[in-house]
Amino acid sequence: MTTLLAGLSVVLLGGLAAVILARWPRWAASVHRIATGAGALVALVSPLKVLGGAHLPTLTLPTNVPGGAWTFGLDALSAWFLIPVLLAGTAAAIFGTSYLAGQEEEGSVPRAHLGMAVLLVALGLVLTAQATLAFLASWEVMALAGYFLVVFEDRRPEVRRAGMVYLIATHAGTLLLVVVFGLWGNRAFDLSFASLAHAAPALGSLHAVLLTLGLLGFGLKAGFVPLHFWLPEAHAAAPSHVSAIMSGVVIKTGIYGVLRLLVLLGAPPPWWSFGVLLLGVCSGVLGVLWALAQHDLKRLLAYHSVENIGIILLGLGAGALGLSYRSPLLAVLGFLGAVLHVLNHALFKSLLFLQAGSVLRATGSRELEHLGGLGRRMPLTWLGFVVGSAAIVGLPPLNGFVSEWVVFQALFSAGSSRTPASLALFGAAALGLVGGLALACFAKVCGSVFLGHPRTPAALAAREVGPGFWGPAAVLAAACLVVGVMPWLAIGPAVRVAGQLAGVPWARAAALTRPARDAAQQIALLAALLAGTVAVLAMARTWALRRAGAVATSETWACGYPRTSARMQYSASSFAAPLVALFGPLAGVVVHRRADGFATHPVNLALERILVPLWEATQRASARIRPIQHGRLQLYLLYIVATVALLLFYLAASGGKP
């Protein structure tokens, strides 16, 4: 624990140094970069130890604040979630030093560096807090640091609006959490997690209420449908490295919160587990469908986060069903899939956002219809992006495949559990559909950004970005590949976490997941054979071409039409059109079909069609009671006297008992 805090302090000091050295931006960036990297490496030691089976002492700060002492400690669950924070978060922060270099026009760069450091530290504290007030305080610091990072370019009105929507959403979530812990703490000795867990068995009907409110409160952070409305706005408006940490890491604290609630509260009722599963299906399918309709690269990636939270919820729901129906195998497999996907999504989503940032810096655009042909101009960025794409689609031999494989197994073993949980089997079909749609979506992105002709002069003039950009991305891409090819490296520690969540000892969890861990070797074999076949076929093809000796270069065959241009390529809108048309109004797209063009305009359905009208209706309704506000002191004194009188009257009428 002290190692972790020492590492995080170094990160924080690096952020402060960036502000102090603001007059020398290069020095500030270097100090911030080195401090973040070194601090994260030091901090990484503690969670790795815990995942290896060690028990670290907790740290207790005695305070006079009500609610008991502030305890910080690391268990397997906390340690697992710290890994993506320290890997993906640090890569994003280091990328940020290059990404923000020379951006003083847009916003305060040193403050952004400090915000990043504060965000990393707050994430560390959220994940290790074992007392309610410490948890909520860190949660707020995390949310506010996120807000200040999102509104970095606050001169643009859409950024300010996105920031405001994010701020409202995150505070609505915090409010729900305060209610949850308040109701719960009423029944407990104090507000430490240990006391809360102690009070859990005697909660009665409050148990389900807390689980449901907690799911909603944490769900606003995790961003599953329909609580995702703020996510695509905020993640698209933020600077790319901030989008990477927000999408890859910060939203996972919502999942962490739900899992922590499950650990503290115990087995949920079956309807709750089925509800989580259903939310997972909706988030997965709708998230990827909405992503298909987007043309803004970062907004598209943000919708994919909604999709991947859906996949995590499918695993989480299966695990919760295992708890509800007392099936340890199902519980362990489900939670294993969920936590593996948490790590994997953090790796590939941060990677994709960093690559999107490189594209944005190289071309100044994130509009799919304005890009194209970047694969030749930015080969390293393209390589990173295609690795991330294959991973997010769940293709072997990359990490996304590994977690989807475990989630599939969980859903299938639910199917043969001979309990009502069998219905979860249909979630597997949804997962299949999500995989297929994600493939279509990333084919669209890769095709319109990196392949074909450049569609604009800016895309034509793009040049490869420097090592400060592709370095951190390369680390993440390598991590994706390592987890995909050697899955046991991730599955081994994850089994410890899944065991904790399923409430079974580690040895039992290890025995239950034995087939999956053995299968990991077979996956490595498959990856090797796949790579070997590709190599052999590629050599054979080259040899055949060399022997034939007749290799010519010509223009793309356009069925005899001689003069093709970049504008004649299939656009991203057209590519997605069959699927968008198939899902109709659910896709949330306004289609413009004219003789001279085809364009689609995506709409944030939950925000623009539900929440904004609801908010306007509320405002109209509240205008009715506005006349009682005059701003005159006498009148307000009168209100106070009237209220007090009313309360006294109530007290007298109820016989002295409030």
Partner 1 sequence: MTSWLCFGLALVLAPLLPGVAQRTKSWLTGRRGPPVLQLYWDLARLWRKGAVFSSVAGASFRLGPVVFAASGVAAAMLLPFANNPALIRFPGDFVAFAGVLALGRFALVLAALDTGSSFEGMGASREAAFGSLSEPVLVLCFAALALASQELSLSGMLGPALPSWWAAGPALAMVGAGVFLVTLAETGRVPVDDPATHLELTMIHEVMVLDHSGPDFALIHYAAALKLTLLGTLLAGVLVPAGQAAAVVRIAGWLGGLLALAVAIGVVESVMARLRLARVPQLLTSAAVLPGFAIILLLSRAA
Q: Site residues for partner 1, window 403-442 (CB under 8 A)?
A: 404-406, 408-409, 412-413, 415-416, 418, 422-423, 425-426, 428-433, 435-437, 439-440, 442
What is the 3-class SS of 486-525, one letter each residue?
A: CCHHHHHHHHHHHHHHHCCCHHHHHHHCHHHHHHHHHHHH
Which stretch in 4-12, 354-362, 575-583, 627-635 sits in contact with partner 1 by CB under 8 A? Answer: 575-583
- The H-or-E segment that residue 60 falls in is strand 59-61
Closer residue to partner 1 in complex, CB, 429/617: 429
End-to-end CA distance of the chain: 46
Least distance from C-beta 545 to partner 1, angstroms? 6
Among 31, 129, 149, 393, binds partner 1 (CB under 8 A): 393
- CB-nearer residue toward partner 1: 261 or 407: 407
Q: Does residue 443 belong to the site contacting partner 1 (CB under 8 A)?
A: yes
The reply on whether position 459 binds partner 1 by CB under 8 A is no
| 376 in contact with partner 1 (CB under 8 A) | yes
* Residue 447 contacts partner 1 per CB under 8 A: yes
Positions in 297-356 near partner 1 (CB under 8 A): none
Interaction of residue 518 with partner 1, rule CB under 8 A: yes
Torsion sign across C-alpha atoms 16, 50, 90, 234: negative
DSSP assignment of 584-653 = GGGG-EEEEEETTEEEEEE--IIIIIIIHHHHHHHHHHHHTTGGG----HHHHHHHHHHHHHHHHHHHHH
Nearer to partner 1, 557 or 658 (CB): 557
Smaller CB separation from partner 1, 90 or 573:
573
Token pair, residue 491, equals: 């599955």
**DSSP bridge pairs for 71:** 60
Cβ atoms of 399 and 490 within 8 Å: the answer is: yes
H helix intervals, 225-327? 231-237, 240-245, 252-265, 270-293, 297-324
Contact indicator for 114, 16 with CB cutoff of 8 Å: yes
- Choice from 178, 537, 610, 648 touching partner 1 (CB under 8 A): 537
Q: How far is the CB of 568 from partner 1 (least distance, A)?
A: 5
Instruction: Give the pair of three-digit tokens for residue 260.
Output: 């922590």
Least distance CB 247 / partner 1 (angstroms): 22
Phi, psi dihedrals of residue 62, rounded to the nearest 5°: -70, 135
Return the axis-axis angle of helices 297-324 and 425-450, rounded to nearest 10°: 160
Residues of span 577-606 touching partner 1 by CB under 8 A? 577-579, 581-582
Q: Are 61 and 70 in contact (CB under 8 A)?
A: yes
Which residue from 451, 478, 510, 603 is in contact with partner 1, where contact means CB under 8 A?
Answer: 451
- Region 28-47 residues binding partner 1, contact defined as CB under 8 A: none
Q: How many residues bind partner 1 (CB under 8 A)?
A: 89
Distance of closest approach, residue 428 Cβ to partner 1, in angstroms: 5
What part of residues 239-278 is at the interface with partner 1 (CB under 8 A)? none
Bond from prior residue into 397 cis (ω within 30 degrees of 0): yes
Measured from the CB of residue 263, what is the shortest distance to partner 1 in angstroms?
27
Q: Tell me whether residue 375 or residue 588 sits nearer to partner 1 (CB atom).
A: 375
Smaller CB distance to partner 1: residue 550 or 628? 550
525 binds partner 1 (CB under 8 A): yes
* One-character DSSP codes across 125-155: HHHHB-BHHHHHHHHHHHHHHHHHHHGGGTT
For residues 262 and 176, give the distance between their C-alpha atoms in angstroms, rounded to a whole number: 17
Candidate residues 79, 94, 446, 459; the one interacting with partner 1 per rule CB under 8 A: 446
Chain residues 544-573 in contact with partner 1, contact rule CB under 8 A: 544-545, 547-559, 564, 566, 568-570
Complex with partner 1: residue 147 or 385, whichever CB lies closer: 385
State whether residue 330 is helix, strand or coil. helix
Q: What does the per-residue mask of binding to partner 1 show for 486-515, with x meaning CB under 8 A?
A: -----------------------------x
Closer by beta carbon to partner 1, 245 or else 441: 441
Residues 185-224 contacting partner 1, CB under 8 A: none
Q: Prior bond to 585 cis, omega within 30?
A: no
The distance of closest approach from Cβ of residue 535 to partner 1 in the complex, given in angstroms and rounded to an integer, is: 9
Of the candidates 348, 374, 114, 346, which has an alpha carbon nearest to the alpha carbon of residue 245? 346
The interface region with partner 1, picked from 12-20, 299-307, 502-510, 524-532 by CB under 8 A, is 524-532
> 132, 260 in Cβ contact below 8 A?
no
Shorter beta-carbon distance to partner 1: residue 266 or 396: 396
Question: Binding of partner 1 at residue 463 (CB under 8 A)?
Answer: no
Could you say which of 65, 489, 538, 647 contacts partner 1 (CB under 8 A)? 538
Query: Which one, 245 or 421, has the nearer CB to partner 1?
Result: 421
